[in-house]
Structure 1
Amino acid sequence: MARVRVVVAPDSFKGSLTAAEAAAALARGLRRGAPEVEVVEHPVADGGEGTVDLVLRSGFAPVPARVPGPLGRPVAAVFAVRGGTAVVEMAAAAGLGLLPGRPDDGTARAASTAGVGRLVAAALDAGARRIVLGIGGSATTDGGAGAVGALGARLLAAGGTPLGPGGAGLADLDRLDLAGLDPRLPGVELLVACDVDNPLTGPAGAAAVYGPQKGAGPGTVALLDRALTRWADVVAATTGSDLRDLPGAGAAGGLGFGAAALLGARIVPGAAFLLELTGFADAVRGADLVVVGEGRLDAQSLRGKGPVGVAAAARAAGAEVVAVAGRCDLRDPAAAGLSAVHELRDLEPDPARSMRRAAELLEAVGERIAAYRLGG
């Protein structure tokens, strides 16, 4: 009789555990509850935080770099290389976690993706012929303008003066000079691994949907949306192409837009692409059950977030899929391909304690899954 095989493939539980830590905790519980079952740990990412860690587990090598953080202070970042492919994580240079304190209106207006552009330049310096840019978890809403500027473009206000920092500065944009853009870019395949399909502007855009998560109050959200509209207008006038409504243009504060419109990038579904890059098809082949998860499952998860992408790939391989989440706000988990959802809040209702005890709780859930699904 064939041995039952379970693949544990969670994304990170933000603020608590990395994807690898979450996978290890679930696996401990499963092995304790069903020692006879084969458990394979395959943590995942969808382009946000943890993307570089994910590929480093799959044979890529780390390359350190020192780049500007979201507010300009230097930060130590790492990207990953294998052969001619480099994987760059924008959160390593412009992530919320790099802010010196809690995000607020000031940081939401001033945060820049300049460090992301510097990371792309470092990958070019390392000889990369293909660059995968994982975007997500950003502190920024600058439409990728900072990254484009760091790669040689000039963004100028009226009279030729430089713009102020961050997305708010784009409100004063008068013209865009692309003459100095890094000449190596056209010879490189640049892929943006994106976990959402929002446009750049409007009620479903970068500022309106994600600005509040980055500290932006209503007035700042309105300002940033106007500034991004100005940015899109000037880019369209300069390039002759308007990509503001491209699915994924609004990802990571509009970095998807700047990369696609000015750096020649192609936006690809983050979860699916990274599963391919890390050999998920081999891991899931012959699996009876796949356990996915993240801190919160909600409507945004249905827009391409990691667990739903993993669930689709697992079902295509013939496996049953269950999810684990700190909390689940999905009205119909079955529509996302999930046979069941186990919520940590059922074990620990207090959110702060649940986050502190996440590893312990995930182990307990792993034992429950073993008992209910595997006959442990």
Structure 2
Amino acid sequence: MTRVLVAPDKFKGSLTAAEVAAAVTRGLHAGAPGLEIRAVPVADGGDGTLAAAVAAGFERVPVTAAGPTGEPVATGYGRRGEVAVVEMADVSGLSRLPAGRPAPLTATSRGTGEVIAAALAGGARRVVVGIGGSACTDGGAGMLQALGARLLDADGRELPAGGGALGDLARVDLGRLHPAVAGAEIVVACDVDNPLTGPGGAAAVYGPQKGADEASVQLLDRNLAHLADRVADATGQDVRSAPGAGAAGGVGFAAMAVLGAALRPGIDLLLDLLDFAAQVRDADLVVVGEGSLDEQTLHGKAPVGVARMAREAGAAVVAVCGRSTLDEQQLRAAGIDAAYALAELEPDTARSMAHAAELLERVAADIAVRHLTPGPR
């Protein structure tokens, strides 16, 4: 029997990874009844990471934590034994901004720290934190405060939320840092190599995406440098120039400098958690996918990571997507035999997104006929 593994990422703004996998599975069955199909939705550390972990068997533990502007949000973490998966986008992400209004100077990563604290209190000894999609540029200050660190001004008062307040930081006190941090392994899923500050840093590169104008970018960059100075005073080490320190508005910096975290490419980390090597071992065909296959896909995004492991296991690989800007040579270099875009059936983007599940079923049925049934195509 032909075995197919369906392992897509989300179609952003349209379908979750699980919904993509379900639609593809229905279409494959329609095109070639009798297939053995296994669905393993994936993610690369951004939004959808928690859902992918839960789909792979992690238990979802609900948590109420502070959103990026301080309001409580219902979120959670994934738990399997002593391993926990935390998704920053689900608590401190752009999608959690009230009415979608950015708050470049005051948005906080506190909620991410609160979820990590809940996971540690629940017995986690390995915490995987996906940090894509954040709404803040606070250098991870809020996360550290939630974990017991004190960020104090010259009068000994705790700093308010956000990167805009970091210029008033006089001292970082780590004496009350959560005691479980020292005994835990914290791993951050991170796909960027930006330093904390400078023209390639968190504020300059990602600040505008979070609503920062030119003056705010300059202020945030100065404040992040000031934070790095005070953290170096407290820890005796300076990691502001380390690759990934600028990830998620500086959360990468705080995680490395204070929590002792290691940074790993997001898709590699998630595939390890999902035991993907075992999942793909006996597959004849693997279906990967995401909303847009483009140049960014080639730089460590989920479809390429999945395709690499599928190729190593000897499986053929096809991709589904909303649209593709990659040519055949680029696809093959990424380990993908062919790509099937919804835009080929419905060129109107709005209609394609609104009817993505139906279109995916049609595409998947075509894939089954072209790649999984005998005879002329």
TM-score scaled by length of structure 2: 0.91
Q: Which amino acid aligns with 1:25?
A: A
Q: Which amino acid aligns with 2:350?
A: A
| Structure 1 equivalent of residue 218 of structure 2 | 222
How do 1:128-143 residues align onto structure 2 when only pairs under 5 Å count?
128-143=124-139
Relative to 1, partners in 2 of residues 1:127 and 1:220: Cα closer, same or farther, differing over 3 Å? Answer: same
- The farther-off stretch of 220-229 and 254-263 is 220-229
Question: 2:75 aligns to what SS in structure 1?
Answer: strand
Q: Which amino acid aligns with 1:30?
A: L
Question: 1:62 aligns to what SS in structure 2?
Answer: strand
| Structure 1 equivalent of residue 310 of structure 2 | 314
- Which 4+ runs in 1 deviate beyond 4 A? none
Question: 1:111 aligns to what SS in structure 2?
Answer: coil
Does the aligned pair in 1 maintain the 2:206–2:249 contact within 8 Å?
A: yes
Between the aligned residues of both structures, percent identity stands at: 59
Q: Which runs of 5+ in 1 are unaligned?
A: none
Does the aligned pair in 2 maintain the 1:207–1:221 contact within 8 Å?
A: yes
| Structure 1 equivalent of residue 65 of structure 2 | 67
How do 1:71-150 residues align onto structure 2 when only pairs under 5 Å count?
71-104=69-102, 107-150=103-146
Equivalent-residue separation in structure 2 for 1:208 and 1:360 (angstroms): 41
Relative to 1, partners in 2 of residues 1:39 and 1:64: Cα closer, same or farther, differing over 3 Å? Answer: same
- Quote the offset at 1:44 in angstroms: 0.5
| Structure 1 equivalent of residue 323 of structure 2 | 327
- The farther-off stretch of 223-232 and 74-83 is 223-232
TM-score scaled by length of structure 1: 0.91
- Quote the offset at 1:71 in angstroms: 0.4
Does the aligned pair in 2 maintain the 1:196–1:305 contact within 8 Å?
A: no
| Structure 2 equivalent of residue 259 of structure 1 | 255
- The farther-off stretch of 75-84 and 56-65 is 56-65
1:29 counterpart (6, 27, 31): 27
2:10 counterpart (5, 8, 12): 12
Question: 1:184 aligns to what SS in structure 2?
Answer: helix
Matched, 1:183 2:174: no
- Quote the offset at 1:33 in angstroms: 1.4
Does the aligned pair in 2 maintain the 1:143–1:228 contact within 8 Å?
A: yes
1:170 counterpart (149, 166, 170): 166
Does the aligned pair in 2 maintain the 1:48–1:195 contact within 8 Å?
A: no
| Structure 2 equivalent of residue 347 of structure 1 | 345
Relative to 1, partners in 2 of residues 1:341 and 1:316: Cα closer, same or farther, differing over 3 Å? Answer: same
- The farther-off stretch of 295-304 and 267-276 is 295-304
Q: Which runs of 5+ in 2 are unaligned?
A: none
Aligned length: 372
Equivalent-residue separation in structure 1 for 2:271 and 2:239 (angstroms): 27
Does the aligned pair in 2 maintain the 1:199–1:249 contact within 8 Å?
A: yes
Deviations 1:312-365 (A, max 9, x none): 111111122222222334462333222222222232233322222221222222
Matched, 1:285 2:285: no
| Structure 2 equivalent of residue 250 of structure 1 | 246
Deviations 1:75-109 (A, max 9, x none): 111112222222222222101111111243xx122
Equivalent-residue separation in structure 2 for 1:206 and 1:187 (angstroms): 29
- Quote the offset at 1:46 in angstroms: 1.5
Does the aligned pair in 1 maintain the 2:84–2:119 contact within 8 Å?
A: yes
TM-align CA RMSD:
2.1
Q: Which amino acid aligns with 1:337?
A: G
Q: Which amino acid aligns with 2:273?
A: L
